[in-house]
Chain A
Amino acid sequence: MTAINYDSLNVGDALPVLATRPISRLDLALYCGASGDHNPIHVDIDFAKGAGMPDVFAHGMLSMAFLGRLLTDWVPQHQLREYSVRFVAITHVGDAITCTGEVVEKFEHNGERRLKLVLATKNQNDEIKLKGEAVIGFPG
């Protein structure tokens, strides 16, 4: 990982994009087990249909984890101060997710230099699925 230089960053700068392969049912099964989120709506199509959904769908937190990879591919995790998302649309089986981030603010907090980023995930049709924000700190 190349160290990120705070002074050389500007509002409007983009993070390197992270793209996933299309989400499979196996991906959802693995995430169900690994995350401990055993809500059947993500893995059991009979349950999903019974709850009025056409099919199982991806855990929002799987996409939030993809966006987390975007962040920790860019800066070491101990610089991550805040990370939040809104799940604006359901991510479906077969969606290939693209994660993006952009610097929107440079500021100081308690003497620490910080960046605010806006984040998003989109599918292959450019439909926004998650919108988020993160704050990165640059100590010293």
Chain B
Amino acid sequence: MIDTSFIGAALPAFSADVEAGRLRFFAKAIGQADPVYLDEQAARAAGFDGIPVPPTFLFCLEMESPNPAALREMLNIDIGRVLHGEQQFVYHAPAYVGDRLTFTPTVADIYAKKGGALEFVVRDTRVTNRRDELVAELRCVTVVRNG
């Protein structure tokens, strides 16, 4: 069983840069052809202040942590046994190519279902920009398959 005393624990905060080339690669990978997500001029013509960070890409930037396995290592979880259970984004301010975003993750909850056959880890992450404005709040629920 995962040690529930880690509920409330903070993971190391880190910053990540939003890069144009990386967003083009992401657009290719998800079949996104809308020029708003590829071309600065098209984005500005559509009323954006730059190429926007697409809705789910904040989760990808969260992988830019110096140690993306920090949570699994802290809780002693085998990567082969994890599934993504739920993902939530609440958006507060836009983010664009060129921004540097700071991610502050915490362990919000740990619980079991089916007599411990499945365990759940809830990670909440606040994302802020250079002006210390709240950009988004992320909630990630990881499912651990036991046995």
Contact = CB atoms under 8 A, between A and B. Distances in A.
Interface stretch (A5-13, A62-70, A107-115, A120-128): A62-70
A30 interface: yes
Contacts of A80: 55, 91
B30 A66 contact: yes
Interface string A89-122: 0100000000000000000000000000000000
Interface stretch (B1-9, B75-83, B109-117, B121-129): B75-83
A34 B25 contact: yes
Given A35-B60, A39-B79, A72-B54, A66 B31 contact: yes
Contacts of A66: 30-31
Interface in B16-59: 22, 25-26, 28-32, 34, 36, 46-48, 52, 54-56, 59
A81 B91 contact: yes
Contacts of B30: 31, 34, 62, 65-66, 68-69
A132 to B, nearest CB: 9
B86 A35 contact: no
A85 B87 contact: yes
B21 to A, nearest CB: 10
Interface residues of A, number: 42
B26 to A, nearest CB: 4
A77 B54 CA distance: 8
Given A36-B60, A76-B47, A78-B94, A84 B87 contact: yes
Contact of B29 (A34, A78, A81, A83): A34
Contacts of A54: none
A87 B60 contact: no
A113 B43 CA distance: 25
Chain B at the A interface: SS class: mixed
A47 B22 CA distance: 27
A38 B63 CA distance: 9
Contact of B28 (A34, A36, A78, A85): A34
Contacts of A51: 80-81
Interface string A27-65: 100110111111111000001001110000001111011
Given A30-B28, A33-B29, A35-B63, A87 B56 contact: no
Contacts of B56: 61, 64-65, 68, 83
Contacts of B80: 41, 47, 50-52
**In the complex, the 3 A-B pairs of residues with the closest C-beta atoms, listed nearest first:** A51-B80, A36-B63, A84-B88
Interface of A: 1, 20, 27, 30-31, 33-41, 47, 50-52, 59-62, 64-66, 68-69, 71-73, 76-78, 80-87, 90
